[in-house]
Amino acid sequence: MTAVESRPAGGVGTPPGRRSFGARVGAFVALTKPRIIELLLMSTVPVMFLAQRGVPNLLTVLSVVVGGYLSAGGANALNMYIDRDIDAVMTRTEKRPIVTGMVAPREAVVFGIALGVASTLWLGLLVNWLSAGLALTGYLFYVFVYTLGLKRRTAQNIVWGGIAGCMPVLVGWAAVKNSLDWAPFVLFLVVFFWTPPHYWPLSMKVREDYEKAGVPMLPVTAGNLAVARQIVIYSWVMVVVSLALWPLGHTSWLYPVAAVLLGACWLKEAHGLLRRAKAGVTGAKLKEMRLFHWSITYLTLLMVAIAVDPFIH
């Protein structure tokens, strides 16, 4: 019997019906992974400003934020249902609602599907059907391609699975234009190449967790030095691709200046991690989480520059 099989997949603790109403509501909110959705919405709304070349319709923005939360939240709930066995093994995830018994597995499935359906109808009826279709594509990709297909089978799981996290930039553009252009696809690629060097440092930090759960994340199968080299490669490609938005998105001087400065800071951190990995540094001295935290700051500030750029003449 493996470590994953040694604990019940349906969660432990007090049955859901005996929990307080407030605790139950909080558990269902936790199923949606709100902190991850913050990142997704952060890459959605600024693109709407770029597409509008100014302030987009605020009702449309609100509709996209709600619809995007429902879509990503539904996918995350189904992800927790599918991964409830490995979540029970990993220290980082052992307090998730299904594992603790706050939410029953069947409830999570119904909840996740309901949110996906609600998101599609909400975006389709209140925004447009192109944005609804793109959000649904991201939802289905995350559940079926990443969670069911890639996560437990290949060390490249986060690379290709990250495509789901790239969809919000297309959704934001489509919500305003009801069409697509080169600019959102550039940002799609930026997020695509950003995702592995964003997530791999965290995977390095919790490598033992993934190893215990039998999930072949790259730090488990390749080691710190190989991962750091991959991080540097993806980082350089990401920074170069980010500069393509200048001509293709017809931005002002503000965006390329921000992209260069932020990219330089990113590359400094990435190469610092590579140097420490080459020196054989391990444990806290590897400081891999510095790049993880900076990656969030990088994407936030880059998106701020995208939102502000249309107002620079």
- Single pTM value for the model: 0.91
Closest CA to 5 of 86, 93, 97: 86
Band (pLDDT 50/70/90 cuts) for residue 198 is very high
Of 131, 159, 180, the last residue of a domain is 180
Domain that holds residue 114: 21-180
Q: For residues 25 and 30, what is the distance between their CA atoms, to the nearest angstrom? A: 9
Cβ-proximal residues to 175 (8 Å cutoff; 6+ apart), any chain: 48, 51, 56, 60, 63, 64, 123, 127, 128, 131
- Read off φ and ψ for residue 103, nearest 5 degrees: -130, 130
Do residues 129 and 43 share a domain? yes
Closest CA to 226 of 277, 157, 292: 277
Cβ distance 152 to 215 under 8 Å? yes
On the question of pLDDT at 8 being above 90, the answer is no
Of 180, 198, 220, the last residue of a domain is 180
Residue 11 lies in a domain: no
Cβ distance 201 to 288 under 8 Å? yes
User: Per residue in 204-230, pLDDT tens?
Assistant: 999 999 999 999 999 999 989 999 999
On the question of pLDDT at 168 being above 90, the answer is yes
Q: Which DSSP category does 275 fall into?
A: H
Alpha-carbon Rg for the chain, nearest whole angstrom, is 20
Structural domain count of the chain: 2
Residue 2 lies in a domain: no
Q: For residues 184 and 134, what is the distance between their CA atoms, to the nearest angstrom? A: 12
